[in-house]
Amino acid sequence: MANAKEHAMIGAGVGALGWFLYCKVVDRPIKFGELVAAGGVGMVGRLLPDLLEPALHPNHRQFFHSLAASALLVKANHHLWQSRLVPAEARGAVHLLSLGYLSHLAADGQTPKGLPPV
């Protein structure tokens, strides 16, 4: 199981990679400062599950570490992507935050305990 430092580093990488790929897809120039900021957003997202459900005991994984939470987060991001009421920058930040969150759950899902369904 990844510790908090490993979770943060993976989240930063996922956020930066997500922003890099987004820029490539929309043919936007990649700016170093934006790449660093995206990594920071991914890192915060990566830490959220353990902030919501701290790893104080081996059975700390409940709803916020579940497959149901993953599915809801993906569905919410899909709706957000389609919304033009929310500025593009805010949608992008939420998507990067969500990528970090989901990468945390993906890493935890690889452990013997896995993720609970709900």
54 lies in some domain? yes
pLDDT computed for residue 1 by the predictor: 57
53 lies in some domain? yes
Q: Which residues contact 56 (CB under 8 A, 6 or more apart)?
A: none
Domain that holds residue 20: 4-109
Predicted TM-score of the model (pTM): 0.91
* Percent of the chain clearing pLDDT 90 (strictly above): 81
Band of residue 57 on the pLDDT scale cut at 50, 70, 90? confident
Band of residue 69 on the pLDDT scale cut at 50, 70, 90? very high
pLDDT at 55 over 70: yes
| pLDDT (mean) for 86-102 | 94
Q: Counting Cβ atoms within 10 Å, is residue 46 exposed (0-12), middle (13-18) or buried (19+)?
A: buried
114 lies in some domain? no
When comparing pLDDT for 6 and 14, which is higher? Answer: 14
Domain count along the chain: 1
115 lies in some domain? no
pLDDT computed for residue 88 by the predictor: 87
pLDDT at 28 over 80: yes
pLDDT at 15 over 60: yes
118 lies in some domain? no
At 22, list the tokens.
């987004």
